Every structure is written in C-alpha cells, then in structure tokens.
C-alpha cells in the first residue's frame, strides 16, 4: 500500500542576500551615522556661530583651492567606475582584466591621497592648523598677532635691506628717516624705483608698525585690516592673516577630510591585498563577491566625498 | 534558537542578478552624468562667487546636484537598483535617523541667528 508523502518546502534561514553583503551594508549604515555626526557638527559650527562682522573663513583665506577639490572628486568618480568594471569583468570570468581595473583603482586612490597631501602641506606651510590660527586680535592675542606680522615682513629681502639702511641713517643723522627718505635710499641701492602705491607696499606697513616716538605704531586691529587688503591684492605675499573662526574651521576641515582620507587608505589596503593575491595566482572568479563587497565600501567612500566637496570647498 | 521544521542553516542564496542586470554601457553613462554633475557644482559656485547667482539659490543647486550624484552612485554602482527590495529595511531607518540628527540640531542655528 502506498502512502502519500507530503513534501515540505525547503525554507532557508535569513534574507535572500549573502551574509557578506548584509554585513557590509550593516557596516556602511554605521559609517553613514558616523559621517552624519561629523557633518552635522560642521553645519552647526559653520552656520550657528559666525556673524556678519566675523564671517566663516572663505576658501582663499584658508588656502583652499576649489578646482583641486573638484579634481579630487573627479578622481574618485573615475575610481568608482574602474572598481565596478573590475567586478563586471570578474563576473565575465576575465580575471586579468579585473586585476587591471583594480590596479587602476589603486592608482586613482593613490592620486586622491597625493592631492590631499599637497593640500595638507599648504595648510601646514601657512599654519592653518587647529590652535595656530590668529582668530582674535584683542588683548594678548593682538600683541602676538602684531609680532607675527612683523616677523613675516622682516623675513623678506626688501625689508632686510631697509632695516640696514634705516639703522645706518639713524647712526649718521641721529634720527629716524622718514618713509620717503628710506624708500629713496632703497631705490638708489637696488636701482629699481618703487612705483606701486604707498598703501599697497609691505614696506609701508612695516615702517608704520616699527615707527616709534610721538607717532605710535598701528594697533593689532589696524594691522589685521592692512594685511587683509595686501593679501587680497597680492596673494603671493605670505603674510599671516587674521582669520575669525580659523581654528574652528581647521578643526572641522582636518576632522572631516582626515577621517575620509583614512577610509580611502583602508580601501587601498584591500586593493593591495587583492593585487598580492593576484600576483601569487590565488585570485580568481571565486572572489567575485569579495570584489563586489570591496566595491560597495569604495562607492560609500565616494559618496562621503560627494557631500564633503560642496560643504568644505563650495558652500 | 527555534528553527522552523525543514529549515536549512546555510549561507542564504543571494538571488540578486548582480552586475548582469546593469550593462557596462550604463556604468559609463552614469560616470558621464557624475562628471557633468561635478562640473555643474563647480560652475554654480563660480557663478555665486561672481554674484551671478544668489547665495541661497547657489546652495540649493549645489545640494540638489550632490543628492543626484549620491542617488546615481547608490542605484547603479552599488546595485541598489537591483538590491533595494532586499536592503531597504537596513537603509531607510538609517536615512531617517541621519536626517533627524541634522533636523534636531537646527534650533541651535536658528537661535544663533536670533542672538545676532
């Protein structure tokens, strides 16, 4: 006698999704919250504290060049394309092509970090660092700022020559030369007359700052104002600027772009591992899922930059 | 752990069609769109700097372009176009929380304006 056997359908535990993909997405959503917190704090500081009199730093004040940010965005977009092409090639069982695309992605990620390093170097050179920016010019802060600008000015060859001429004039005549006398002596010595307007000359600022006797030197606020005009008209002159909220800007900039750069570096480490595996002949079509998950992480890094670029460089 | 009778504890089968659902040509089109979007952001910023575009209009345009870029990367490069129905339960709550985090911080900005 035959018995009817009821066949129970096979039920799989979990989602119709690989464990790896679910895990990487869970990791990515924690990362979303991390960067949202950083960006949220930046938005609050950027919009909440500055006033019309003391605005948030403009990109040129903090030596930030917009087109470099745009270039880095383009580099990351290119790397996103190459990583997705690597995954596609591996799906078509073309391992060598996939390795080629991973290599290009690695190079592009490296280019991104090199550009970022050049940008960071400019910040270090100009001391746009947390705690180093002169963001106040009142009281002792003003005195410090005054000294710093004087030091910047006296580092130029022109001012060095003028200091020598001033001291000699003082020795010979027992009095300070007027600015006109000093510039005349300077022009005779170097053989080049000063043609630019007096207000636009760093030497005029230096002369006023060092003037002694009944005519007092400039206040720190006045120096800050003059330096601002000089830097606007002659960006090549490296004078320390007074930048309201400069320290806060630097903290936000380094926190956001620094954490992002660390994530880029993390991605590059994975790409290097893939290439080492390929060099050892241990990389193949069985790693399709691995490349896809690495790609998901890499695209997330791209997405973070897509928001950081307008926030830091443009808006 | 209670396990339904007949259930098998194995690596769940990923039934997503992977990259096969998105053509290589589409990837290049998305790449082109992203590059154009980046150029638009940059040009809008230049327009704003030279007072050809208002500050708020410029901000709105740049932000809208950024959102478009993120949607394109997410949908096509991250395959959410194919995997959305399997992953929305992870992504949607986080997006809500992320937006809420920014919204709850807004009073600080408004109060700061008020004090100015």
CATH code at position A281: 1.20.120.80
Together in a domain, A103 and A161: no
Together in a domain, A84 and A217: no
Question: Distance between CA atoms of A94 and A116, rounded to whole angstroms?
Answer: 33
pLDDT tier at B1, thresholds 50, 70, 90:
very low
In a domain, A240, yes or no: no
Together in a domain, A275 and A225: no
Together in a domain, A221 and A305: no
**Residue A254 in this model has a pLDDT that exceeds 90:** yes
Contact A37 B101 (CB under 8 A): yes
Q: Which residue of B lies nearest to A311 if distances are taken between CA atoms? A: B63
Using the 3D structure, point to which of A186, A207, A233 is the last residue of a domain: A233
In a domain, A250, yes or no: yes
Contact A19 B94 (CB under 8 A): no
How many folded domains does chain A comprise? 2
Contacts of A19 (CB under 8 A, 6+ apart): B11, B12
Together in a domain, A126 and A145: no
pLDDT score recorded for residue B5: 52
In the 8-state DSSP scheme, what is residue A137? -
Q: How close is the nearest chain A Cα to the Cα of B17, in Å?
A: 11
Together in a domain, A175 and A126: no
For residue B83, with 0-12 CB atoms within 10 Å meaning exposed, 13-18 middle and 19 or more buried, which class applies? buried
User: How many other C-beta atoms lie within 10 A of the C-beta of residue B40?
Assistant: 16
Using the 3D structure, point to which of A233, A264, A286 is the last residue of a domain: A233
Asked if residues B112 and A48 have their Cβ atoms less than 8 Å apart, the reply is yes
**Cβ neighbours of A11 in B, within 8 Å:** 4, 6-8
In a domain, A241, yes or no: no
Nearest CB partner across the interface for B38, out of A22, A74, A299: A74
Together in a domain, A300 and A275: yes
| Of the candidate ranges A14-18, A96-100, B3-7, B56-60, the one whose mean pLDDT is the lowest | B3-7
A158 touches chain B (CB under 8 A): no
B51/B111: higher pLDDT: B51
Listed residue (B76, B86, B97, B12) closest to A30, CA to CA: B97
pLDDT, tens only, A38-84 = 999 998 888 877 777 788 898 888 889 999 999 999 999 999 999 99
Nearest CB partner across the interface for B86, out of A10, A15, A36: A15
Together in a domain, A267 and A127: yes
Q: Which conformational region is residue A14 in: left (phi greater than 0), alpha (psi within -120 to 50 degrees), or beta?
A: left
In a domain, A203, yes or no: yes
Q: How close is the nearest chain A Cα to the Cα of B14, in Å?
A: 4
Contact B8 A12 (CB under 8 A): yes
Together in a domain, A128 and A252: yes
Reduced to 3 states (helix: H, G, I; strand: E, B; else coil), residue B95 is helix
A80 touches chain B (CB under 8 A): yes
Q: How close is the nearest chain A Cα to the Cα of B111, in Å?
A: 8
Q: What tokens appear for A12 in the block?
A: 């799989």
Q: What tokens appear for A10 in the block?
A: 């096979």
Q: What tokens appear for A72 in the block?
A: 């880095």
A88 touches chain B (CB under 8 A): yes
Is this complex scored with an ipTM above 0.85?
no
**Average pLDDT value for residue range A270-293:** 96
Listed residue (A153, A157, A167) closest to A217, CA to CA: A153
**Residue A120 in this model has a pLDDT that exceeds 50:** yes
Using the 3D structure, point to which of A233, A264, A298 is the last residue of a domain: A233
In a domain, A239, yes or no: no
| Alpha helices in B1-116, H assignment, sequence order | 24-49, 55-72, 80-115
Together in a domain, A160 and A104: no
According to DSSP, the residues that pair with B7 across neighbouring strands are A11
| Of the candidate ranges A105-119, A122-136, B17-31, B91-105, the one whose mean pLDDT is the lowest | B17-31
**Cβ neighbours of A22 in B, within 8 Å:** 90
In terms of residue numbers, what domain contains A150? 139-233
Question: Distance between CA atoms of A173 and A189, rounded to whole angstroms?
Answer: 18
Question: Distance between CA atoms of A127 and A156, rounded to whole angstroms?
Answer: 18
Together in a domain, A217 and A284: no
Q: Supply the pTM of this predicted model.
A: 0.84
Together in a domain, A215 and A272: no
């Amino acid at each position: 006698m035959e018995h009817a056997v009821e066949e129970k359908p096979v039920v799989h535990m979990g989602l119709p999704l690989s464990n790896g993909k679910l895990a990487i997405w869970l990791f990515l959503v924690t990362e979303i919250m991390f960067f949202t917190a950083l960006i949220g704090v930046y938005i609050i500081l950027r919009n909440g504290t500055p006033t019309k009199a003391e605005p948030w730093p403009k990109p040129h004040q903090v030596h930030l060049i917009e087109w470099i940010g745009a270039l880095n965005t383009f580099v990351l977009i290119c790397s996103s394309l190459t990583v997705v092409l690597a995954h596609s090639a591996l799906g078509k069982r073309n391992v060598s092509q996939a390795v080629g695309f991973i290599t290009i992605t690695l190079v592009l990620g490296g280019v991104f970090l090199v550009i970022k390093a050049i940008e960071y170097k400019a910040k270090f050179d100009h001391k746009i660092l947390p705690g180093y920016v002169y963001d106040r010019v009142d009281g002792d802060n003003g005195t410090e700022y005054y000294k710093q600008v004087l030091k910047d000015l006296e580092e130029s060859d022109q001012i060095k020559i003028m200091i020598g001429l001033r001291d000699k004039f003082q020795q010979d005549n027992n009095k300070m030369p007027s600015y006109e006398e000093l510039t005349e002596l300077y022009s005779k010595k170097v053989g080049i007359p000063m043609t630019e307007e007096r207000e636009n000359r760093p030497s005029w600022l230096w002369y006023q700052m060092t003037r002694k006797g009944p005519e007092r030197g400039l206040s720190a606020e006045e120096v800050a104002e003059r330096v601002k005009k000089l830097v606007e008209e002659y960006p090549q002159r490296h004078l320390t600027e007074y930048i309201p909220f400069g320290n806060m800007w630097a903290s936000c900039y380094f926190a956001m772009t620094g954490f992002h750069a660390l994530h880029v570096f993390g991605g590059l480490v994975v790409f290097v591992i893939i290439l080492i595996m390929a060099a050892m002949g241990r990389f193949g079509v069985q790693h399709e899922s691995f490349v896809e998950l690495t790609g998901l992480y890499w695209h997330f890094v791209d997405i973070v930059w897509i928001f950081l670029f307008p926030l830091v460089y443009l808006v | 752990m209670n396990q339904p009778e007949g259930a098998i504890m194995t690596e769940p089968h990923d039934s997503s069609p992977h990259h096969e659902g998105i053509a290589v040509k589409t990837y290049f089109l998305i790449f082109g769109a992203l590059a154009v979007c980046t150029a638009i952001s940059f040009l809008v910023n230049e327009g704003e700097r030279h007072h050809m575009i208002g500050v708020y209009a410029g901000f709105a345009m740049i932000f809208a372009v950024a959102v478009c870029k993120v949607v394109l990367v997410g949908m096509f490069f991250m395959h959410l176009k194919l995997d959305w129905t399997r992953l929305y339960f992870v992504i949607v709550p986080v997006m809500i929380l992320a937006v809420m985090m920014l919204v709850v911080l807004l009073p600080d900005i408004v109060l700061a304006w008020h004090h100015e």
